[in-house]
Every structure is written in C-alpha cells, then in structure tokens.
Structure 1
C-alpha cells in the first residue's frame, strides 16, 4: 500500500514519566505561571501541552531510518551497541513472559532508530522543565526539529534548500478554555489559533496569545523610573501593568480609604495603630429557642484563627444569657490542645453539620437556616480583626469603629444599583454544579455574594480601569508611541490600542480581587490567610467568612492582584501570531487546514459557563468597550455549552444525547479542518471513581469515545497523563479529576471494512497482547494500564467502518471497551502461567485470601493442581503452615539476609516481595537497585508479577494500600534499572580498590 503519511513520535513513544513528573510539579509553580493570569477550571499543564505538540509534529525516527543509517557517526554507535542488544535479546527470550517472548530479533536499523528516539526524548525532557519555559536555546532546539520534520518528505529525506523555505503548519484548539494549548503552540514557533464559546475564556486567550506579540520587545511608556535598560518579549508591557496598577491604588485610596481604618493595637502588642489584613465575620440567625426569640446567634464552623504551633489564636465567645448577648474576645499564644480542638468545632453540632444556639444549646437545623436565608433574615457579626504586626499577624477583638466602617458602605447608592443590574444574575443551584452551592441559603444572586464594602471597593477599582486608559494613552503619546485611535480588536498598535491592552490586564486584576474579596471566602487558619472563592469547582456556603483589605500588604490586596498578572505577562514568550475568537466548536470556521490539539469539556464535571458568570459581570463592566461583541449579553452562553447537565436537558438521558450529538458534531468539524499528514490530539479527563467503579467503559468515557469514532476518527494511541497534585482540596475518594488521557487520532480510511464481533475479538487477541507488552516495556504504571490499553484496543475497533453484533447492529464503544478490558485481564492472567509453580500458587492464594489464613486442605488442592505440595511453597519461604492453616508471609517477616544467588529454591514471588520491601523502605536506593541487578534474567518476570498483583489488589481484592506498592515500584522501574546499571559499575570499582 502506498505510504500516505509519516508516523509521528506521539504515535509510537513518548517519555511519559518525564512529562508526568513535570506536569505534576508545575501545579506547585505559582508566580509567573500563565494559570495565574485569570482563574480557569481544569487547565492542562503547559509541560504536557508543550510535549504533546512537539511529539505530534515531529516525525518518529522509523520514518527516516534509511537516512539515519547514512550518518556514519550514528551508524558506528549503533554497530557498537548491536552485539549487546542481541545478547540481551537472547537472554530475555528464555525468560520473557507473554508476548514479550516473541519479540523480534533487533537489527541495526532498530538500534539506530532507538538512538535517535532517545535523542528526541532528551529534547522533550528539557522542554518540559518549567525553568526552560523561556530558555531560547532549549526552545530553538525543539523548533529546529519541528522544521526538519515539516521539510522531510515521505521518503525520509530533507530536500536541499527545503529548510530555508519550510512553512510551519498552524495549530488550532476549538475548546481553548484557559489557553494552554495555543500558548504552547506559539512558544514552539507555530501560528496559534483558539476559540471558545465562553467570552471569559476568549478574553484569557487574547491576553495570552494575541496581545503580547503586538508589543513584543517594546519598552514601557510610563513616566516613572524604568526598571531596566533593555526590554525583551512582553517585559515592557508587564512593567506598565505594574505601574498603572499602583496608580489605581493611590486613586482608590483617596476615594474609599476611609472605609478601611487602621485598628488600635492592644498594649501587649505595643499599642499604636496597624493596618487591617482581614475582618472575620460570622453569619447569624435568629435563635429557634422561644426563650431567646429574635436574638441572633452566630453560625461558626471554627473559632480558630491560627493553628500554627506556638502562635495559636482563637476567638473566645462570651455568653450572657440574662442579657441575651454574645461578645467575642481573642486568646493567643500557646493554647492547650483540648482548647484548640473545642474551638475548631465552632458552633457546629456533630457530624450532621447542623448548628447549636450558643445561648441555649438548642439545635439549629439546616432546613431552618435555609428558610431564614431565603427570607433574607440572615445577619452578620464581626468576631475578630486581623492586622499586620511586626513580621507576624496580630489578632484583635472587634471594636465598634471597625464594624461601623463596614456599615458605612451601605450609604453608597451604586451598591444597590450594581445588585439590581449587572450582578442580578442567579448563582448556581445543586442541580447545576457538584462543588457546593450557597444559593440554598439565600445567596441567590451574584450581588449577594459580596458585602457592601466589598462592592464599593470592586466598583471603585472597576471605574478606575476605565479612567486609567486615558492616562495611559496620553503617557504613550508622550513616550513617542504613534498617536492614533485604531482599536486593539482592529489590529491597532498605537496609543489607543496600547492603553486598551494595559487596561485589559488591569481588568483581570478586578477578577482576582473579586475571587479573594467575596463573602464566601473563608479564613485559612493553617496558612493564616484568606481563601479564595473558588478553592473548589463550586460556590459553597461559608458561615464564618473573611473580608480582606485591598489596601493591606496581605493576600487579596490590590497590588498583589496586579503582581500576579504582570509577572505572567513578563514571563510570556510571544512567538508567531495568534488569534483567539468566540466560536461554537460545532461550526468553527478556518480558512486553512490546521493541526488539531484540543481539551474539550468533560462530560458532566464542570459547568464552565455557570461558574464563569461570577467573573463575567466584572470583566464586562471594565472591558466591554474593548471587545463589545463578546459582551453583548448579560451572562455567558449556556444552551450550546457542550456539558451534560441533566437539569438543562430534561434528565440524564437527554443530557447524554445532547453531549454525544454535540461532541460528534464538534469532532467531525475537527476532522474536516485537520491537516493531512498529522494526527490530532484530544485531551480527555476522567473521574477516579469511574475507573474504580466502572472501569474504562464508564458512561463519560464511552460517550466521549463514541463521539470520536462516529466523527470519522480512528484512535491510534492513548497516553495517560498524571497532572494533578495529590493534596488538592477535593482529593481521592471523590469524583475529582485525577488524570487526563491524550487520544491520538487519524482520519479513518475511506475504504474501511465492516467486520463481525468474532472477527473483532480475534484481531484484538492477536494485536493487543504485543501492544500491552510494549506498554509494560515502557514501564506504564499498572494503575494507568487500562487507559493505555484503550489506544491499541480502540485502534483495532476504530479502524473499521463498523463492528457488527450477531443481530447486525453496530457494536457500541462501551461494548468494545468492555472487550478490551477483558482482553487486558486475560493477558495479565495469562502471564501467570509463565511463572514458577510456587509463585503461581502464591498468586492464587493471594487472590483468595490476601495475607490472611486459609484451610490447609484448600491449599493442598491448589498446590497439587500445580504439581507441587504445600511443603514446597513453605520450603521456598513464601508461606507459613501450622495447625491446619496456611498463610502467606508478610514482607516484614521475610529473611533480611536473603540473597538470590544462594537461594536453591528461588521464586519470582520472593524476588518481588524482597524488592518491594526495600523500595517501600528506601525508594530509589542503592540497595534496591543492587537487588534488582542480582535477579539477572528474572528481573522481567518480577516486573510482570508486579502488574499481576496490582491488578488483583486493586480490582479484585480492593486493597488500595497493597496495590499502591506495586504501582509505585513499576512507576520507578525505569530509574531503578538505570541505577542498577550504575550500581554494577560502582561495585566493580569498589572491589578493585579493595584488591589494591
């Protein structure tokens, strides 16, 4: 068959461990990271996007193996390595398990391709490091490889002069969201296009992709002292954002500074005045006890202000039942543990999370609070004031002056006007989002999420965003920038456009201020700072909330809001042109074919439009005239948003139908726009509970893949990306997004055949085992194997026009996924037959009993079926047999002086358990690597056994802790092998030194 395309690296292999490690680490990078420009939910890590795009564009070395063999240096290196490869292959054939035993004999071409692949891997490993995000040397290496691949013909050759005139293809993300993919495409020197239905996402994309190239290498225009003599990339733009943000703070202080008075410090803190960091308020409700009818009592989750050892601080309520009053005092210093525990319970009442009346002890049920909240009868009391001290927090009891300053904001007419106009939209309900809602307690509009003083502050800064634009324009003209009125949206780069650009970033600072400045922001007593509104993908109720001071120097102040933004702008590397537009992915239009890389919304996990309405009103107020077409409506578009929200579509069935039809249409559009010769990459996130409860055939997964297949794509690969930090607020045990899978897709051949179910299963049995063996050889962690196996499995399914069931109906993706999973189970089970008899006994015993005891008679039957006896397994050091019971020995019961070389009854089971014991204790250590080295040809069998035992522990026995140790070992396997090679050399050197 005529070759019509070159295979890309991502279709064959990628350095997954390095990408995953960099992606997970990136979540802890804050200052300067583009994700801090503006909040967006479930962004893909830049490291992953950068690596995937590179591997998607660069040819796999197998596409130009013939040319590689012409390189004398590379050929000589390969010829030197081939004998070792052949020796290793011969050795592994006798001990390999499953499909690995049929691995073909390595050739010189294989070695050359492997060496070249390793070189490309090294480029990726450098490319994904955060520190190299702006490293031009590293970036240029990657760009050079992309140019070579784009110039290379189907014959593997790069024609003379082709590199000088090569045209790089554009990249398009039709679900651009937070902008990670277009940003990384631009960083790699490619024209970047993005689109999204959500105007907030479009503005984020424009701020990252469109604006910086317009003002690349331009010095700042502000009249103050410049911070440097030379400006590159967007550093000058960033400095102007910083300067005019400070100007806005000064103007805001002149107007509303009196609403934020300093606090009088107690004598123990030296007296005097101090700037307030935060006011801690408690929501209140009328006591349901008739004896205290009408008296409002506080609803408090916790009275703890600081849990830091040695500097604890708590609120101590003083109750006067006769006067029916509650006042609040502060106790700080070294507080006894039992008092801290009591304070941490606030006024809650047990696990039900109801409250108690602090005056009478009467239960206050949630339903009662909801009714009072919906009737607008919840109140608020100031409980504490937190101020800036001498390098530490100062906790002060509330005073009338502090409470009155907040109440003064009620007199501002613009507060009521804002609540009645652009903040009148409805907050989400339980039917719309899963991350918690406050609407059930009466906070039913966006305006109700803010106190009066918070609204005055936000409105003042919003007005100043409009005012600062005129100042920037005048200063830009004075600095020599061309004076004209061409708008930013029309391609302008003169004074007017530059003023719009700087003010756009300052408008984003309003969003940051709102996120840290709402009445649902809690106080974090561990870090002693204000939590943001969106600490999770929802807006849950905060009973005791923290109101920040935009003029302080602590979390949530205006200058820090600007700082987060200008640091992002300063770190951007504007490359090729970029455009982000508002479009529906189902009807997206492009004038030229593009490379598709995209991260579509996950089935039903995040209602982006609903959550982003929190910011939309503020951005619309500040930036509407910069992009009027984006802000022509009062809320973000929802009816066409591709999310399966049951309440929008008449139930779950309607939501699923809407999602699959819409996603099929969107992916079909992608296939139409796709540039021939390049695969498409589609990121897809899934829920932890789906894999645990339903496997890879879960509703969300299957629905999405069904859309991909029906759209005309064939799935040619899947790569599981571990991108989330383990310590995020919604962690394991919930439906938190834990992983992404990158699907690699090619357009399905027009001549694709239709086959039967039986033919599909036969093909699956033939092609899946060697593919799984390759994944194991690449050390794909056992936890990731089900997702990874989707690639080759769906590659079989999706290459056909249809797979017909016995009744001639087309097989669904859900059924195909179940069959793929069954084949994976059969493969892992089949490996067991390759192990020694004692190990096979131990596997079965572990599956049936774990490490618990079982009857000797049952054990005897199992052993006899494997041609051995229980005594044989006991002699091997695997089990204990006594008093008619048999049990597997625990790892800590194994002989610590055991050595594989001296064991006359060596088993794979023992080898693995000793290695796991060391790895659990020491991680990637010299001793663990040395032990692995001593296993010799048994090493691969040990790895195979780890896969088997992970599968049993995780999926059959549901023993997460036991599964984790095997998964962790495989995850470290590659590094452990590399360390083992080093250990061998060190040992020889040590022996030589000892001989001397």
Structure 2
C-alpha cells in the first residue's frame, strides 16, 4: 500500500480512561468461571479488558486530532466527543459486558465510523474500502486474548505463533467456534440426565459447547470402566474408628478418595539404617481449618515406620515434617542424622528416590476427611502398569532443580498410576472423535471428506473440533495429576495445588495425587463443564478467525492492524514450559494436526527469548533476542496497515530505581529493538495487568505493569539532532506530558506513582525515536540507555519540590525527609537547612509538621496528625501538611472523608499530588516500601477522593476549582 496515506490520530495516541481499564483488568484476575484463561493454561496472558480497550482505542480516531478530518473542531467539541468514546470504553471493559451485544455494537459502530472517515480521507486509494474493516493480526499470539478481543470487536482475526500449543489455543479461541456457529449438538444426552427443555436454536458456539460436555462425560465414564479399579473408594471400618471418635458415625460407609498424599524417600545416610527408605517431608499439616485441624504423625517402630493421621494442632517441630530448614535438607526419622541436598542429589541421580503413601483425603458429607494410609491402597497405586510414557527431555526452566534429583524426562514427573490415567484419557480423545463424527452423520450433517486441518466444515471436521477441546481437558487434568502438585492445608483451600504455581517446574518432596474421577479440583467432573462453559460464554462465533504456526519475523501481515504481546526478554521460557502439555496433546491430536505435531517436542531454537543455555552465553542470548526482535518489529513496521498505529505490550520487569532513574535490561533492549526496526513511539500507557496496586512489592523483581507502546513507522526523511537539541526538546515537552499524566490537564485520570517512571518514558522516547539519531558530542549515536538517563533526569527535576511553586516549609520537610525519613536528626542541621529554605525550625514546628526538643528534630508521620484538623482554620498550612492529612484521612476513614477534606483546600490539589509523586519516587529509591505504598495509594484513590470532594463542594461550599479528577 502506498505510504502517501492520511492517517488521523487514534484515541490511544492522545488519551485513555486508564483508571477504569486498570480497575477492570485487576478485577478480571479473580474471575475464573467461563473465563478463557480456564480453557487452557498459558503464561502471562493479557486480561481481556486491557486487550479490548487497547484495540478499541487503536481503531477509533481521536476527536481532537490536528490532522485531516478533525481540523475544524473546537476544543470543547473534541473533549465532549472524546468523553463519549471514554464512556464506551468504561462499559466495554466490564467483565459483565463481555458478550453484551448492545455494548459491543456501540463499540463496533464507533470503529466502523472512524474507518469510514479514514476511507473518505483516502478516497480512491487501494485498501480503503469503507464497507470492509481491515483484518487484525497478532504475530505473537500466545494465549489468544488479543486476537479473541479483536474478533469480538468485529474484525476478521488472525493469530500466529511458533509454539504449537499456542497455535492450538488460538485455533480453539478464534478459528473453530465460527466454523460451527449455530449448529445444534449431535451427541447423545448422557444416560440418567433429564431431557430438559429442547432448544429451538443454538446460537454461537453453544451447540459445540454442549457436545464437548456430552463427549467429555462419555470419556470420563468410559475411562472409569477401564481404570476405575486403580481409584477405589475407602471403607470406614470399626478398627479405624477406635482411635478416631470423629469416624464413629460413618463406620461402614465407603468414601470417594479426593487425593493420596505421598512423600518422596531416600535411603538413610546413617549406616545403621541405610536399608530403610526414609521420608523427605516439608510439612505434615493436612488441615489448619479452625476446629478441623489435622496432621500426619510418623510412628517409628524399630526398623520400620508408618504414618498416622491425627486430629488437632501439632507441635511446631511436628508440623514442619522432616525438614531441617530451608537450606538444611532433611533429617532421618530414625537417627536424626542430617540428609543434605548433595546426598539427595546423588540418590536421585542413581535412581534411588522412591515414594511412600502418607495419608488419604476423602470426601465427607461436611468436608474433607483425613485418613491414615493403608498398605493395600499403596499396593493398588503401585500396581499400575503404563503402556506408554512421554520420555521427552525437560529443558530450561522446566528443569529448574528437578533434574538434580534424577527427574530428566517428562515421564519422571508422574507416578505409574498417573501415567496410566493420562494415557487412557489421551486414547479416549480419538475414540470420542470417532463417535462424534458418526453421530454428526446420523443427525444429518454433511461430510465433505476433509478434516479441520484441511479447511473442512463437515462431520469429519466437527469431530476434530470436539477432539481439540477434549484434548484441552486432558491437558488440564495433567496439571493436577503430576508429582509436582502439592496439598494445601489452608483453611480456605484444602485442595490439590496444580503443577504450575509459577513459571517453572520446581521440585516437590511431599506431593498430592488427585483422583481424576472424584468431584473435586483437578477432576474430570469439574474440568469438563468448566471447558464447556468457556466455549459457551466467552468465545465468539460471528466473525472468521485463523491461527497458523509461523515465525513473527517473516509472517505475512498484508496491511492488517497489529497489536501484540511479544516474549519478555528472558522472563518466561514458553517453549520449555509448554512441553508439559505438548507431550499429551501430541498423543491425543497428532492425527488431526500432523504438521503442527511433527516434532517430538515444542520447537525451541527460533523462540525469541534471551535464554543463555541455548545460545552459549548471556551476551549471545541478548544479541539473538535483539536481532530477532528487530527483524520481527521491522516486519510490523513495513507491513502493518499504515492508517493505524501498532500497539505492543511489554511487561516491565527487572526494574531498579536508582539515582539515574528507572531502568531495566530487558526494557532497554526491547526499546532499542523497536527504534532500530524503524518505529517512532507516539504513546505509552501503563496497564496494571499483573496484580493489584496494594500487592505491589516496592523494589521487588516482579511484573507490575504492561507498558503499551503505541508505534508508527518513522519518516524515512527523519534527520539527526544533537544531544543538546534533544535535551532542549525534552525540557519543552516533558513538563506538559507529566502534568497530563499526574492528572493536571483535561481531567485525565492520574497515572499511579508506581507506574509513572515507566509511563513518562513514552513522551521522552517519542522525542528520541522521531529522529534518525541523537548524536553525542563525539558524533556517535546516543544509546537508548543514555537517552533514558536523560529522560529520567528531566522527570526527577520536574517532580522535585524545588522546581515547583512549593512553600518554604514544604521545601524544608522534603529535604529533611530525604535525609532522615521519620527518624530524628540534629537540631543544628535542621536549623541550617531551614534557613537555607527560607523558613525556621520554629516556623515548621508552628505549622505542626515537626517535633523539636532535646537537640533533635523529627517529622510527624501521617498517623500522628490530629483528626480534627481544618485547613480553613489553620493559618500556616504547608503542602507537606495538607498531603499527610489527606493520607491520614484516607487510611482511617476512606475516600469520602478525605474528599471532604480536599474540598476545604481545593487550590492545593495539584501541589499535593505533585508532592505525592515526588515522595513516592524518593521512597522507592530508598526502598521504604510501606511509605512508598502510602503515597501510591493516595494517587490511585485520587479519582474517588476528587469525586467526593466535588460532591461536598456542590452541596456545601459550591467549590468550582479544578481538582484534576
């Protein structure tokens, strides 16, 4: 397509209702039932709310754009129209509106309107058909959230990824549902179920969802016929009840086992007991629920031992199992001899780590019932003889430390009984597929002789589609059916904790084995309806989608809209991790997708992750990542539709706030790749897609925000500028941009202090990236690292109180806080500093912000401020004092009371907010986590505080001053 294109600015390049998007994204993390994340595990999947909001804002024109179509609007008109778009976003991001057609149609109409306006500006040019929206493409599709939301917004959606597991997830999310939309189910209703109301039609993917439920039920019943003997119920005997009064009322009952709890064992290092395999147990706790506490007690008898389940609370030493502490290894239950990790590694490498059954968890009428293990149940478990095992080697982060103990291939992560179960389920996927194909033909569905991988739409393809989701069910069962799973004794969650508690496979010593036939977490009884519900409630069926396996560096984007979430430098080894699922998925689905499953394991060599073990060194891994990412992003810049910016997610990690500002190796490398690929950055937005603000670990190496980079291709005629010119432009542009971010202009929502350092990089990088190069004094191009230092310096200068119109008392308090925090310091130093700042110790003491006496001076903390303070009756109110009174009110009484306080000093709103940002940055630098959190929470609550302030003002003082909400 010609580059002589008129491209109006998009909303995402100007403004967003960030608070609303972040709130919805944070809330979505707690939603499980029906959410696409429960269809199949994928690591670091974007929240649907964030993806939907970004795509919408990427597609609609900003009403205040200075180019082309909008040149004639007044500011008031533009602001009013922008607010209408904000209203759509606020509705759009709510989970309840995921499938609200009324809300979605508003968004789709706004997108089509903007597209028609853009086509009008480019009338006669190829590719601008007002009746056909451009298609969407995510070249790093991963878990499929972004392609799914593009489809939901009415765009033909394309997804590509190198990883076959990701490709299959995207096929299940965007490709399969539209193929079979509106079809009624073909499978027989499970025996024993009531016929229920006959549906007159099956909208969207509801018919497909129902068939997945029906064939999933058949698969469970058929599997139980074949291997149910390996999962027997346990009968409560009179002998059991002798020492357990709580069991007397259920003697003779047969209970379904939820889980078997095992300990790994090694031979005792003590020569006297070296013939005995002793347990390695990190905790003997079974339940910590009040009134129902239970634990395991090992009973030693000469040269043997057994485990006994006890009711009540154990001693501290008993609760911690046989552990000798975090780094101490374990202790022998016979001799108390230490069993260090070197010894355990040697035993593991020699194949001498075994298992021993410790306890059984059964389902009672009123909750879990914990029972002692019996030799008979252990014999049954060990009698399983798997016909097949996935002997694919573990790599990278999957190895973590398990390979140190002899767990080198995937079959090592499962007990024989687990291998039998998962192999049986995998085999049944194909049997269910055959049944679905035959049932489809019987109900009259045509058969075009083609499978789904060949583009078929008939009975054969339909059977393939059902099999895909049944394969996902097997994958989800495998998460809860490995020896990496543990048992949670938490009062709220007495259950199996699945394999992927984090993005790795760590060694576990005592593990829980779930019963896939029970009615509890990790079972088919729970997983089958959960997968069916996702298909029914969250997947689209109205617009075509397509998912392919392809490298992002070379995939054909052909004038498509691009939004993507690339790998994060070295944070997640997707290819390594997804082998866990691939080995089972390949067995179940290889005949349906032969090319997708052509390799024994997930392809790894070309994955764009900076993994040193693959590339020889950290430097070579970084070079591989950098070169590959430049190539991929260059592909976006050259092929993406020129009327739309490209949006790229980047999860900010490995950050350190130092005197030079916030930096990150992965972040810098990624920015370098974006700029070298030919993009200019026209906007950045921090989206809190990982965790809520209150759980942020200040200074922690944790994913906190996704930074959304908004990029347009840089003009080929861009010139180079000097370092001095670059600094001059930063000083001209950054103050206004920062004022907007902290909420000082156009009523924008404030960016949280924890996000400001990352977000404000955007305007600075916009200056840096629009030029071919910024040249240092020696004539060499300035690096991204050096540019970030200069940008951060300007941000610090803007936020420091000395640069603003702060009162002298506040200047003193800020500098004193920097030196001493809340601790006391020498009076002499305080006296000298106060004079330098144009005030006095007596003055700041009179203001009520410091305590002075005994030759010492200290600042009052906010919880020491009086509750009855009234700014209108205070003759000396530094901004410092006003800020900390607001924090006191927020922490003690919430947004309403703090809003009422702000309503009595509205003229101080902007100064209070700017000081809060400065103090947050200072506290983060000094790693004062609690203090930093207080300043961050004030800003994140600002919208509510200001709204409460306005309400009080209208009802009482009729305040009309701008509070920046």
* Range of TM-score over shorter length: over 0.9
1:72-106 CA-to-partner distances (Å, cap 9, x unmatched) read xxxxxxxxxxxxxxxxxxxxxxxxxxxxxxxxxxx
CA 1:946 to 1:679, structure 2 compared with 1: closer, same or farther past 3 Å?
same
Partner of 2:265: 284
Contact residue 158 and residue 545 of structure 2 kept, 8 A: yes
- CA RMSD of the aligned region, Å? 2.4
Distance 1:2 1:152 in 2: 17
Contact residue 314 and residue 340 of structure 1 kept, 8 A: no
CA 1:435 to 1:340, structure 2 compared with 1: closer, same or farther past 3 Å?
farther
1:349-376 CA-to-partner distances (Å, cap 9, x unmatched) read 0232410001110000001001101110
Contact residue 691 and residue 698 of structure 1 kept, 8 A: no
Match of 2:676 among 695, 698, 710: 710
Distance 2:264 2:234 in 1: 22
Match of 1:491 among 423, 431, 455: 455
Contact residue 409 and residue 452 of structure 1 kept, 8 A: yes
The alignment status of 1:310 with 2:291, answered yes or no, reads yes
CA 1:626 to 1:155, structure 2 compared with 1: closer, same or farther past 3 Å?
closer
Distance 2:351 2:863 in 1: 62
Partner of 2:948: 979
SS of 1:834's equivalent in the other structure is coil
1:373-398 CA-to-partner distances (Å, cap 9, x unmatched) read 11100111111011111131111111
Shift of 1:726: 5.1
Q: What does residue range 341-352 of structure 1 map to in structure 2 within 5 Å?
A: 341-352=316-327
Contact residue 851 and residue 890 of structure 1 kept, 8 A: yes
Contact residue 148 and residue 163 of structure 1 kept, 8 A: no
Match of 1:193 among 158, 170, 181: 158
TM-score normalised by length of structure 2? 0.93
SS of 1:737's equivalent in the other structure is coil
Partner of 2:279: 298
SS of 1:458's equivalent in the other structure is helix
CA 1:695 to 1:938, structure 2 compared with 1: closer, same or farther past 3 Å?
closer
Partner of 1:360: 335
1:637-688 CA-to-partner distances (Å, cap 9, x unmatched) read 1110000011111111101111100000010011111111110000001225
Distance 2:261 2:418 in 1: 14
SS of 1:827's equivalent in the other structure is helix
Partner of 1:80: none
1:153-194 CA-to-partner distances (Å, cap 9, x unmatched) read 4888999xx999522111111100001110000000001111
CA 1:155 to 1:845, structure 2 compared with 1: closer, same or farther past 3 Å?
farther
Partner of 1:812: 783
Shift of 1:61: 0.9
1:756-787 CA-to-partner distances (Å, cap 9, x unmatched) read 11111111111111111111123111111111
Partner of 1:392: 367
CA 1:202 to 1:468, structure 2 compared with 1: closer, same or farther past 3 Å?
same
Contact residue 504 and residue 577 of structure 2 kept, 8 A: yes
SS of 1:744's equivalent in the other structure is strand
Partner of 1:514: 478
Contact residue 23 and residue 47 of structure 1 kept, 8 A: yes
CA 1:65 to 1:651, structure 2 compared with 1: closer, same or farther past 3 Å?
closer
The alignment status of 1:634 with 2:600, answered yes or no, reads yes
Contact residue 299 and residue 544 of structure 1 kept, 8 A: yes
Shift of 1:836: 0.8
Contact residue 8 and residue 69 of structure 2 kept, 8 A: no
Partner of 1:932: 902
Aligned pair count? 930
Distance 2:570 2:497 in 1: 26
Partner of 1:331: 310
Shift of 1:66: 10
1:44-74 CA-to-partner distances (Å, cap 9, x unmatched) read 111100000000000111138998999xxxx
CA 1:26 to 1:227, structure 2 compared with 1: closer, same or farther past 3 Å?
farther
CA 1:284 to 1:2, structure 2 compared with 1: closer, same or farther past 3 Å?
closer
The alignment status of 1:246 with 2:217, answered yes or no, reads yes
Distance 1:538 1:958 in 2: 28
Partner of 1:650: 616
Shift of 1:731: 7.0
Distance 2:407 2:871 in 1: 67
Partner of 1:857: 828
Contact residue 28 and residue 47 of structure 2 kept, 8 A: yes
CA 1:68 to 1:808, structure 2 compared with 1: closer, same or farther past 3 Å?
closer
Contact residue 5 and residue 122 of structure 2 kept, 8 A: no
SS of 1:718's equivalent in the other structure is strand
1:921-971 CA-to-partner distances (Å, cap 9, x unmatched) read 12222x21110011121221111111121122222x321111111111111
Contact residue 398 and residue 576 of structure 2 kept, 8 A: no
User: Which sits farther off after the overlay, 446-455 or 556-565?
Assistant: 556-565
Partner of 1:121: 86
Distance 1:943 1:733 in 2: 22
User: Which sits farther off after the overlay, 656-665 or 435-444?
Assistant: 435-444
Distance 1:10 1:163 in 2: 21
Contact residue 23 and residue 48 of structure 1 kept, 8 A: yes
Contact residue 48 and residue 145 of structure 2 kept, 8 A: yes
Partner of 2:531: 565
The alignment status of 1:953 with 2:923, answered yes or no, reads yes
The alignment status of 1:403 with 2:383, answered yes or no, reads no
SS of 1:584's equivalent in the other structure is coil
Contact residue 688 and residue 738 of structure 1 kept, 8 A: no
CA 1:164 to 1:458, structure 2 compared with 1: closer, same or farther past 3 Å?
same
Of Structure 1 and Structure 2, the greater helix share is in 1
Match of 1:222 among 177, 184, 187: 187
Distance 1:406 1:966 in 2: 56
Contact residue 536 and residue 730 of structure 1 kept, 8 A: no
Distance 2:183 2:432 in 1: 20
Partner of 1:469: 433
Partner of 1:722: 688
CA 1:194 to 1:702, structure 2 compared with 1: closer, same or farther past 3 Å?
same
Distance 1:727 1:787 in 2: 15
Distance 1:293 1:497 in 2: 59
Distance 2:148 2:71 in 1: 36
Partner of 1:501: 465
1:116-138 CA-to-partner distances (Å, cap 9, x unmatched) read 11111111011001111011011
SS of 2:704's equivalent in the other structure is strand
CA 1:64 to 1:751, structure 2 compared with 1: closer, same or farther past 3 Å?
closer
CA 1:694 to 1:516, structure 2 compared with 1: closer, same or farther past 3 Å?
farther
Distance 2:652 2:785 in 1: 15
Partner of 1:34: 36
1:18-57 CA-to-partner distances (Å, cap 9, x unmatched) read 1111111111111111111111111111110000000000
Partner of 2:961: none
Partner of 2:244: none
Partner of 2:709: 743
Distance 2:559 2:529 in 1: 39
The alignment status of 1:528 with 2:494, answered yes or no, reads yes
Distance 2:496 2:860 in 1: 50
Distance 1:340 1:588 in 2: 61
Shift of 1:988: 6.9
Contact residue 661 and residue 793 of structure 2 kept, 8 A: no
SS of 1:533's equivalent in the other structure is coil
SS of 2:798's equivalent in the other structure is helix
Partner of 2:355: 380
Q: Which runs of 5+ in 2 are unaligned?
A: 190-194, 242-246, 959-965
User: Which sits farther off after the overlay, 270-279 or 164-173?
Assistant: 164-173
Distance 1:192 1:3 in 2: 23
Distance 1:435 1:952 in 2: 39
